[in-house]
Amino acid sequence: MTEKAGQLGPSRRELLLSLAWATVLAWTGMFFGDGETVQAQQKVSKEQAKYQDSPKGDQKCANCNFFIEPNACQTVEGEISPEGWCQLWVEKQ
């Protein structure tokens, strides 16, 4: 973990790399595992993702690629507001 002045916890880059590795490991397990689909994915805390209950401009959980209706997220733990936002936001495809 990189320690920078005023920074608590992992950097955004470290979070994204962790999520990327978790995805790779999940896919690897799905294709090379014991035949069972891997459902578990490592999620980050709201604090790590810098989650807030309000949107950031036009960016909000409801239009994020990771949002699961009605109030969940593929990458962030806990209950998520459709009007919320975090630094892992990715535009819905």
Residue pair 52/43 in contact by the 8 Å Cβ criterion:
no
Cα(86)–Cα(93) distance, integer angstroms: 18
pLDDT tens for each residue of 27-39: 655 555 544 444 4
64-90: per-residue pLDDT in tens? 999 999 999 999 999 999 999 999 999
**H-only helix segments in the chain:** 12-32, 46-49
Question: In angstroms, rounded to a whole number, what is the distance separating the alpha carbons of residues 57 and 14?
Answer: 25
Q: CA 59, CA 37: separation in Å to the nearest integer?
A: 32
For the question of whether the overall pTM of this predicted structure is more than 0.85, the answer is no
